[in-house]
Chain A
Amino acid sequence: MTAEQVFWKIAFYLFVVLVVVVSVFPFYYALVTSFATGSALFEIHYWPVSFNLSNYINAFSRSFPRSILNSLFIATTTVVFALFLAVTASYALARVRFRGRGLLLMTILGVSMFPQIAVLAGLYELVRFLGLYNSPFAMILSYTIFTLPFTVWVLTTFMRELPIEIEEAAIVDGASPWVIITQVFLPLLWPALVTTGLLAFIGAWNEFLFALTFTISEDQRTTPVAIALLSGASVQEIPWGPIMAASVVVTVPIVVLVLIFQRKIVAGLTAGGVKG
């Protein structure tokens, strides 16, 4: 190896290390902070100095556990509902030729990229009208605006990849479209459903605008709203320790899921995005 090659190799690995450190450091620092209490919280430590769970106990003594349950219920229900509607819809969009299919796909993509603020006033009225204000169902209803188009879009791109021969064989055997979906495609689509569902779940778990607007009481908040509005005894006093503890609690499951399903998530994120 020449000196120049060695130099570029070192530079490359330095860049790799820099990217990893920058990516992971904020989470690491939140973890370190969450275990520090008292005056240790307000001294800067690059390495963990104490292992104190009092911030976690503090966070959980509030209505935070209830927020976690709210978020779990809302995200799960929204995703199941969206997947249920999306499976049949994406079959029609991926497999059946009909007039206006391209336009319909564009509309669905458009809705998924909607500025959510544009529907906020109308949704607020709808939520009030249906008597769902300050209940989890307000979020379940409103999250459909981004989970449904997203799941339809990703499942459509997955469904296009399935070999046509399978479907032709089923048609020759006299299978109706409903039988083709439930008996033939669904078993093949499980991996795609898990990926899409997981991505939609993360979206619903992280949503803030609707959850902030459609809840008023502390026990109806979802976790992002609870963390954003976590306050101390006085207005000036921000409880950084409990905030970091709560942040770690909601982030760890998501990060673990993402790392387990890494490959599938990358496939799901880029499906449709790079068809161009």
Chain B
Amino acid sequence: MTSPSLGRAAEQGLSLQQQRARAAFWFLAPMLAALFCVAAWPLLRTIYFSLTNTSLDDLYGGHFVWFYNYFHTQTLASGTVQYRGALVDPSWWNAVYNTVRFSVVSVIFETIFGMAVALMLNANFKGRGIVRAAILVPWAIPTIVSAKMWAWMLNDQYGIINDIMLNLHLIDQKIAWASSPGTAMISVLMVDIWKTTPFMALLILAGLQTVPQDIYEAAKIDGVHPVKVFWKITLPLIRPALMVAVIFRMLDALRIFDLVYVLTPNSTATKTMSVISRENMIDFAKFAYGATQSTMLFAILAIFVSLYIWLGKVNLTGEGNR
């Protein structure tokens, strides 16, 4: 081995690396251009629209009004000063409250049920394949279809849920689940938990399967109680997978639109941030005001994700492993 040949190899290696980096740029460029057009640009335009007074009928007729849509004061003829804008709009804060309540409750239940189903699927028993296929069904059904199916099952007059509950003496009269304000949120939660628990279970199951079997065997030999095994071994080991699953679900829950829109139309008890933004933007033709609310939704989500990743030290990209 002489030094010149080594030197040439190194030189070639460098140019190869450069060649690959250049190729990588051209491979990424079309995707980045596409994402810019459908994500970055529309997002910037939405934020811009939130600072204008654009209406739906005349998208280019708006003027720049700074933060008027977010907050402004109005002096009435009587001299009293009123605060206006999305930041002091009670219906917006009602939507924020609904969304947060929905997200927190649904994610907690989905995590608990998902964990139970995942632990079940992780056990060895006859017919496991069939069970796994069965729990994929709720996940595969389109959200709109599940909303309609459940709307029918929760129907106050002809719904099967009322019939079952009456027969079991859980309730003593028929309940208008989706339409009465007291139970509308419960209906939405029920459908969402039914639909999304399988997804949670599969993510947790994948985490469970990375736990080496011999740890369990060692614990068994030492006579550790199964409940203690779960809290002291299983849970700490799948914590990273669980953290990722929870944030995916949480983000999905915070932007919920379709289920609420179809199952409980126009109910103030369930109206979420996404529903109220679209309603203002399209149905009420207050384009700029809807854009303001969607910008605020985006800001809330961005703050939430940053805090979660920062506080939970979640590694989402898997880059650290290599």
Q: Which residues of A approach B to under 8 Å, CB–CB?
A: 12-13, 15-16, 19-20, 22-24, 26-27, 29-30, 33, 41-44, 46, 85-86, 88-89, 91-93, 96-98, 101-102, 104-106, 108-111, 113-126, 128, 141-142, 144-145, 148-149, 152, 157, 160, 171, 176-178, 181, 202, 205-206, 208-209, 212-213, 223-225, 227-228, 240, 243-244, 247, 250-251, 254-255, 257-259, 262, 265-266, 269-270, 272-276
Contacts and interface: CB of A to CB of B under 8 A. Distances in A.
B46 A119 contact: yes
B298 A118 contact: yes
Contact of B59 (A104, A128, A250, A254): A128
Contacts of A257: 140
Given A149-B35, A250-B142, A259-B136, A122 B194 contact: no
Query: Could you say which interface size class chain B belongs to?
Result: 35 or more
A220 B39 CA distance: 24
Contact of A26 (B35, B194, B291, B319): B194
A148 B252 CA distance: 17
The DSSP consensus for interface residues of chain B is: helix
Given A121-B45, A206-B143, 13 more contacts: A23-B134, A23-B138, A98-B24, A115-B254, A115-B255, A115-B301, A120-B281, A177-B23, A224-B142, A224-B144, A240-B152, A251-B145, A257-B140
B27 A91 contact: yes
Given A96-B20, A148-B31, A209-B274, A118 B152 contact: no
B149 A213 contact: no
Contacts of B45: 121-122, 125-126
A85 B245 CA distance: 27
A19 B194 CA distance: 10
Leading 5 A-B pairs by shortest Cβ distance: A122-B42, A275-B318, A276-B240, A122-B45, A92-B24
B194 A228 contact: no
A244 B160 CA distance: 14
Contacts of A88: 27-28, 30-31
Contacts of A160: 318, 322
Nearest to B226: A8
Contacts of B16: 171
A118 B254 contact: no
Interface in B264-322: 273-274, 277-278, 281-282, 287, 290-291, 294-295, 297-298, 301, 305, 314-319, 321-322
A29 B267 CA distance: 26
A42 B157 contact: yes
A8 to B, nearest CB: 10
B120 interface: yes
A41 B157 CA distance: 12
Interface stretch (B77-85, B203-211, B228-236): B203-211
